[in-house]
């Protein structure tokens, strides 16, 4: 029995067993025929070969061999063709014969199929011993690579069952869409787990490679929870997890910039939410501080710097640009106005996140209000003027109110709406003005209704205001698109504003004077303060360096506002 004698080492046991079996069984077998049958069977070469193959395979399984290539069939074919063209020695002939054998061809084909992993995991046959109350059992087969499954399990304290406790967003289990929180785990790879400790099951899972079969009883799912939450937030602050000492795991954090739109996929944890950048194809979510947590820590950080509102420096009283634009009387200029509200800053608000939803202006819907914000002299008026000239049918500006008496060349509702002082005061009291001021005993102001009347003409209303009024204008009715016009560097200001004139705030005559060095510095400082304090409310920032370029950028942005989808506060989309 040559096959029996070849076994060495730990594998020899099976051969020995085969060789001794016939003699051992002899005592129990009476008929000579049966004895000879046993002898022949256990001495059969093919049986020994099978055992040998089995043992070899077992050995290979332990060493986890990896295929060198996955196209052995094609290689053999190529080799045969090449060899046939050469002088045929005895060895070459033998090799050609071997390679042409259907068995060898099939073997190589199977090898390639396995190497390419081009097989679908087969679903196991449905167990036929399912209890009546087990009719909702699910058999799930996942193919696991080196990546963890991304699920945790626990023992349900009430029922004692092993249940799925958590599915990590974007992990393998989550992506499969087959396993859900609350599902009861019955078996893993055919092994019942009901009596096992969660740690033992985790060990089984960790050791498993390739296809893993789960038998689960689906949990009762809350429809709302089952779907991926669609909460979109606009970040109102910059966040870098690398600099966050509080985050439980920095690598798991999601960095973002103020203005980014984030899709929050899990808010289960009160302190750390899971989110991803809107539109990001990478399914894996990262941790971001929750709104409540961020508000709390920002509020704790801020009192030292913010109990005193930061005052945005500007000319003695220069700010009422909207008034000036609609005015034909060049003697009166913005320096005349005092804004009563200008000192009110929003110290109570801690900007963290704002829930947003996609919005696109529908056909026939009113235009969004376009608000321009920027420091004195930066060019807001110039931008508005250019827009009005470019398309007077499309763009419009508000007509201010005043309590001063109408002059002979003026008409009511053209330069101003002329109203009595008493009515003006009543309107102030009734919050009818976005901004108002007083000069030489007369009131001037822009009313909310004046914005409405421009919008009612189906025009885009261009308004420039002090940034502190933005909060009151951010309503579903106006859906304002806020553009911050920012000055370029001081060097570029010196270059571009060589021939420009700024309306003097030092007198009341509306006289203009060339820009001074201090005007540039003041403009840059004021812009910086505005951005720090109100930057989270700006939807678009345009640097007014080259006027033509800045204007084109503005025009393009405004066209997009009308034609494309933008993210707006969710409350604006409910009306
Ligand atoms: N990019 C630019 N390059 C050169 N000159 C410019 C540019 N932008 C604006 N100007 C000029 O700067 C001056 C001030 O501009 P404008 O009056 O539009 O500023 P404003 O922001 O409305 O200021 P104010 O708050 O004083 O009303 C104007 O003479 C204008 O033509």
* pLDDT tens for each residue of 261-301: 999 998 888 899 999 999 887 777 888 999 999 998 887 77
User: Ligand 1 centre and the CA of 379: distance in Å?
Assistant: 3
Point out the least confidently predicted range of 27-31, 92-96, 267-271: 27-31
For residue 40, the tally of other CB atoms under 10 A from its CB is 10
Confidence of residue 225 (pLDDT cuts 50, 70, 90): very low
Does residue 508 share a domain with residue 391? yes
Whether the per-residue pLDDT at 3 is higher than 50: the answer is no
Tell which one of 497, 523, 543 to mutate to probe ligand 1, the residue whose CB is within 8 A of the most ligand atoms: 497
Q: How far apart are CA 135 and CA 218, in angstroms?
A: 10
CA distances (Å), origin 79, targets 90, 95, 113, 534: 16, 10, 20, 74
Does residue 381 share a domain with residue 463? yes
pLDDT at 228 (0 to 100): 56
For ligand 1, whether the C-beta of 543 sits within 6 Å is: no
What's the chain's length in residues? 575
Question: 377 with 262: CB under 8 angstroms?
Answer: no
Domain with residue 271: its CATH number is 2.30.30.40
User: Ligand 1 centre and the CA of 200: distance in Å?
Assistant: 73
For ligand 1, whether the C-beta of 285 sits within 6 Å is: no
Indicate whether 133 belongs to any domain: no
The mean pLDDT of 121-148, rounded to a whole number, is: 65
- Closest-CA residue, ligand 1 atom 27, reads 321
Whether the per-residue pLDDT at 423 is higher than 90: the answer is yes
Indicate whether 152 belongs to any domain: yes
Backbone angles phi, psi at 377, to 5 degrees: 85, 0
For ligand 1, whether the C-beta of 378 sits within 6 Å is: yes
**Domain stops at, among 183, 217, 251:** 217
Domain with residue 167: its CATH number is 2.30.42.10
- Closest-CA residue, ligand 1 atom 9, reads 379
Question: 480 with 369: CB under 8 angstroms?
Answer: yes
pLDDT at 493 (0 to 100): 97
Does residue 194 share a domain with residue 95? no
Confidence of residue 227 (pLDDT cuts 50, 70, 90): low
Does residue 531 share a domain with residue 391? yes
**For the CA of 385, the nearest atom of ligand 1:** 18
Confidence of residue 247 (pLDDT cuts 50, 70, 90): confident
Tell which one of 372, 377, 496 to mutate to probe ligand 1, the residue whose CB is within 8 A of the most ligand atoms: 377
Does residue 212 share a domain with residue 88? no
Does residue 374 share a domain with residue 257? no
Does residue 552 share a domain with residue 425? yes
Whether the per-residue pLDDT at 235 is higher than 70: the answer is yes
* Positions of E strands within 242-349: 261-266, 272-277, 286-289
As for how many domains the chain has, the answer is: 4
For residue 571, the tally of other CB atoms under 10 A from its CB is 14
What's the 3-state SS for 82-139?
A: HHHCCCCCHHHHHHHHHHHCHHHHHHHHHHHHHHCCCCCCCCCCCCCCCCHHHCCCEE
Domain with residue 504: its CATH number is 3.40.50.300
Question: 107 with 53: CB under 8 angstroms?
Answer: no
- Closest-CA residue, ligand 1 atom 22, reads 381
Indicate whether 65 belongs to any domain: no
**For the CA of 501, the nearest atom of ligand 1:** 29
**Domain stops at, among 217, 243, 269:** 217
Indicate whether 508 belongs to any domain: yes
Q: How far apart are CA 204 and CA 214, in angstroms?
A: 12
pLDDT at 292 (0 to 100): 93
Question: 384 with 398: CB under 8 angstroms?
Answer: no
Residue 546 has what DSSP assignment? S
User: Ligand 1 centre and the CA of 503: distance in Å?
Assistant: 9
Indicate whether 46 belongs to any domain: no
**Domain stops at, among 61, 83, 116:** 116
Indicate whether 67 belongs to any domain: no
Confidence of residue 457 (pLDDT cuts 50, 70, 90): very high
489-505 residues labelled b (16+ CB within 10 A) or e (exposed):
eeeebeebbeeeebbbb
- Residue 15, both tokens: 């051969």
Does residue 237 share a domain with residue 209? no
Point out the least confidently predicted range of 21-30, 55-64, 131-140, 464-473: 131-140
Does residue 454 share a domain with residue 381? yes
For ligand 1, whether the C-beta of 335 sits within 6 Å is: no
Indicate whether 518 belongs to any domain: yes
Does residue 244 share a domain with residue 208? no
**For the CA of 547, the nearest atom of ligand 1:** 1
**For the CA of 500, the nearest atom of ligand 1:** 29
Does residue 387 share a domain with residue 242? no
Average pLDDT, the chain: 82
Residue 190 domain boundaries:
138-217
For ligand 1, whether the C-beta of 502 sits within 6 Å is: yes
For ligand 1, whether the C-beta of 372 sits within 6 Å is: no
**For the CA of 546, the nearest atom of ligand 1:** 1
pLDDT at 189 (0 to 100): 84
**45-63 helix and 12-26 helix, angle to the nearest 10 degrees:** 150
User: Ligand 1 centre and the CA of 517: distance in Å?
Assistant: 15
Does residue 208 share a domain with residue 100? no
Indicate whether 517 belongs to any domain: yes
Beta bridge partners of 234: 261, 354
Beta bridge partners of 286: 275
423-458 residues labelled b (16+ CB within 10 A) or e (exposed):
ebeebeeeebbbbbbbbeeebbbbbbebbebbbeee
């Amino acid at each position: 029995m040559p096959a029996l004698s070849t076994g060495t080492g730990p594998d020899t046991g099976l051969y020995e067993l085969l060789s001794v079996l016939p003699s051992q069984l002899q005592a129990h077998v009476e008929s000579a025929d049966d004895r000879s049958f046993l002898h022949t069977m256990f001495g059969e070469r093919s049986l020994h070969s099978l055992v040998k193959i089995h043992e070899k395979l077992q050995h290979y399984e332990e060493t986890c061999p990896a295929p060198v290539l996955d196209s052995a069939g094609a290689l053999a074919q190529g080799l045969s063709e090449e060899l046939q063209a050469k002088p045929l020695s005895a060895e070459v002939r033998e090799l050609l014969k071997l390679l042409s054998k259907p068995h060898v061809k099939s073997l190589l084909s199977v090898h390639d199929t396995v190497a390419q992993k081009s097989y679908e995991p087969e679903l196991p046959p449905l167990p036929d011993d399912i209890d009546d109350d087990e009719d909702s059992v699910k058999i799930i087969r996942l193919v696991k690579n080196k990546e963890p499954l991304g699920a945790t399990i626990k023992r349900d304290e009430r029922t004692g069952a092993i249940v799925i406790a958590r599915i990590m967003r974007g992990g393998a289990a989550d992506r499969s869409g087959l396993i859900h929180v609350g599902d009861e785990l019955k078996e893993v790879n055919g092994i019942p787990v009901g009596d096992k400790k969660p740690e033992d099951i985790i060990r089984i899972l960790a050791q498993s490679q390739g296809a893993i079969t789960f038998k689960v009883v689906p949990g009762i799912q809350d429809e709302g929870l089952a779907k991926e939450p669609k909460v979109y937030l606009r970040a109102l602050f910059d966040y870098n997890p690398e600099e966050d000492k509080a985050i439980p795991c920095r690598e798991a954090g999601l960095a973002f910039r103020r203005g980014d739109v984030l899709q929050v996929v899990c808010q289960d944890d009160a302190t750390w939410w899971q989110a991803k950048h809107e539109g990001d194809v990478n399914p894996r979510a990262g941790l971001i501080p929750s709104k409540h947590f961020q508000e709390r820590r920002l509020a704790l950080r801020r009192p030292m710097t913010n109990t005193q509102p930061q005052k945005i420096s500007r000319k003695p009283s220069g700010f009422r640009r909207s008034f000036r634009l609609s005015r034909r009387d060049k003697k009166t200029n913005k320096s005349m106005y005092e804004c009563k509200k200008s000192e009110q800053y929003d110290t109570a608000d801690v900007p963290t996140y704002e829930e947003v939803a996609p919005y696109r202006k529908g056909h026939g819907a009113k235009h969004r209000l376009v608000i321009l914000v920027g420091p004195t002299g930066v060019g807001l008026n110039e931008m508005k003027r250019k827009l009005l000239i470019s398309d007077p049918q499309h763009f419009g500006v508000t007509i201010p109110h005043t309590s001063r008496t109408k002059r002979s060349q003026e008409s009511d509702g053209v330069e101003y709406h002329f109203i009595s002082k008493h009515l003006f005061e009543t309107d102030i009291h009734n919050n009818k003005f976005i901004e108002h001021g007083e000069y030489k005993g007369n009131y001037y102001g822009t009313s909310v209704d004046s914005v409405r009347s421009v919008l009612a003409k189906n025009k885009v209303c261009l308004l420039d205001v002090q940034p502190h009024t933005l909060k009151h204008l951010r309503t579903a009715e106006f859906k304002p698109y806020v553009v911050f016009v920012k000055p370029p560097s001081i060097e570029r200001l010196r270059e571009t504003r060589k021939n420009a004139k700024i309306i003097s705030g030092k007198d009341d005559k509306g006289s203009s004077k060339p820009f001074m060095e201090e005007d540039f510095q003041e403009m840059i400082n004021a812009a910086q303060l505005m951005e720090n304090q109100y930057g989270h409310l700006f939807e678009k920032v345009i640097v007014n360096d080259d006027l033509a370029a800045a204007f084109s950028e503005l025009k393009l942005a405004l066209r997009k506002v009308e034609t494309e989808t933008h993210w707006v506060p969710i409350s604006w989309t409910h009306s």
